Amino acid sequence: MDPDLVYSRYRDDAFAEQLTAQKYRVFVAMPFRDRFSYRANDIYRDVIQAAATEANTLLGGSQGDCDMRRFDTPRRIDDQPQTARDIGGEIAKAILHAHLVVADLSFANDGVMLEVGAALALKPTAHIILITQGDPSELHFNIKGNAIITYSPNNGVGEIAKAMVKAAEDFEVRRTGYLTHLSRELSRDAVWLMNWYGRCRTGTLFRNPNGTPIATSLHEDVGVRAFLDPPQYDLNAASDAKKAEAMIRYQLALRELLARRLLWTDYQAQTPTPGTDSFSARGTRLGWMFVEHKWPGLKCPADEFLVP
């Protein structure tokens, strides 16, 4: 398990999935074996998964009809398909991709402690919920300083559920901060091209005579025009040197947006004849989340993610 390698390699994908997921994903670290009165599967089902169900009730009661996402069923690593793979790396990736981690520290299980260490390296501490059936003071000094919920098989679901809701609320706050930070990391041309695509796609920049948007995707002719002289952005009126400069700026900005998962390549095979296939770029869910955050007047079209 190499958390630093996993973070550097999968961070952007993980953030994109978290920001656009329909439900909060919860990774569970806990002992798998029964020990004394500890029944692992009962705890998994009747305490941790039950807490997620109660957390959804709390969200419903506090948020009314708002579109705040709900919790998916919490999952352990053994709920994933079992194949010959680097289990340590898979655990680290699962922790990184999850919105929050619930870790049962009962008996200070070695495997659980390893997973908690990875979680502390990969995630904000506000998104890690530590629980135990034992006495927190008996845990190692570098873990017992954290907030730990003491529970029993028949008591504690409510406290864990409240902690899940609090972690979700913190995630939503950080979500806004991430989108703001993302705009600061992008180049000026990349931000401009994203705005250009949003305006083209929603029809606020160019429209056909019948009122429909002139572009439903960011193909080359549309993208290059973003870097020509306003207000016409006319390819025909531009000099060869200006068009060449605009093409370079467009390609560099497009590459940057593709790398940050704000756009995706839309490839359409028209015929078997070489040279007739078409390529363009379209906004990802993360891309439209960025557009709506940066320019509130631009709203994702209802048909943007319809499968042809």
Q: Is 264 helix (H, G, I), strand (E, B) or coil?
A: strand
Q: Beta 278-283 vs 263-268: how paired, if at all? A: antiparallel
Task: State the greatest distance between any 2 C-alpha atoms of the chain, in Å, as a whole number.
Answer: 81
Tokens linked to 208: 């056909």
Q: What share of the chain is helix, strand, coil (3-state, %, to 5)?
A: 55, 15, 35
CA 70 – CA 164 distance, rounded (Å):
11
Cβ(200)–Cβ(215) under 8 Å? Answer: yes
84: Cβ–Cβ under 8 A, 6 or more apart, which residues? none
Per the listing, tokens 């695509």 go with: 197
Beta bridge partners of 130: 103, 148
Residue-by-residue pLDDT tens, the chain, 308 positions: 677 788 777 877 788 788 888 899 999 999 999 998 999 999 999 999 999 999 999 987 544 334 568 999 999 988 876 565 677 888 999 999 999 999 999 999 999 999 999 999 999 999 999 999 999 988 888 888 899 999 998 899 999 999 999 999 999 888 888 888 888 999 999 999 999 999 988 887 766 566 666 667 788 888 898 999 876 678 888 899 999 999 999 999 999 999 988 999 887 776 566 666 677 899 988 899 899 989 999 988 888 876 54
Q: Is 76 helix (H, G, I), strand (E, B) or coil?
A: strand
